[in-house]
Amino acid sequence: MSPRQNVNKMMQQVQKMQQEMQQAQEELARETVTASAGGGAVKATMTGGLELVSLEIDPEVLDPEDVEMLQDMVLAAVNESLNSAQEMASKRLGGITGGLGDLGLNIPGM
């Protein structure tokens, strides 16, 4: 294959990968993960696009004397849902960007 054919083939593969990435990101924005803390007292739901869409607090755990515990549970639930969303996105997008090695490209952050 000539160098020009190689470049054309590589550009086609990059364009296909861009389309797949855009589609995967749109799908991730619609998918959610939920994490809980304090035995389910606090639940946080986040999209694959890393948007917090729901935060539920069981009214039975609302103790005005222990606000710090509630804050800790909220932080734990939000951070766990964030980690789960990032892991979901990484798995989904990693399958697409994994093809970069086949092209001989080394793109930072991918």
Helix or strand run (H / E) with residue 109: none
Give CA separation, 55 vs 8, 9, 69, in Å.
48, 47, 16
pLDDT band at 93 (very low <50, low <70, confident <90, very high): confident
For residue 12, the tally of other CB atoms under 10 A from its CB is 10
pLDDT for res 99: 56
Name which residue leads in pLDDT, 37 or 62. 37
Tell me which DSSP letter residue 110 carries: -
Average pLDDT over residues 31-43: 93
Name the burial class of residue 89, with classes exposed (0-12), middle (13-18) and buried (19+) by CB atoms within 10 angstroms of its CB: buried
46: burial class by Cβ within 10 Å (0-12, 13-18, 19+)? buried
CATH for 3-99 (3.40.50.150, 3.30.2010.30, 3.30.1310.10, 2.60.40.10): 3.30.1310.10
Average pLDDT, stretch 81-95? 88
- What are the residue ranges spanned by the domains of the chain? 3-99
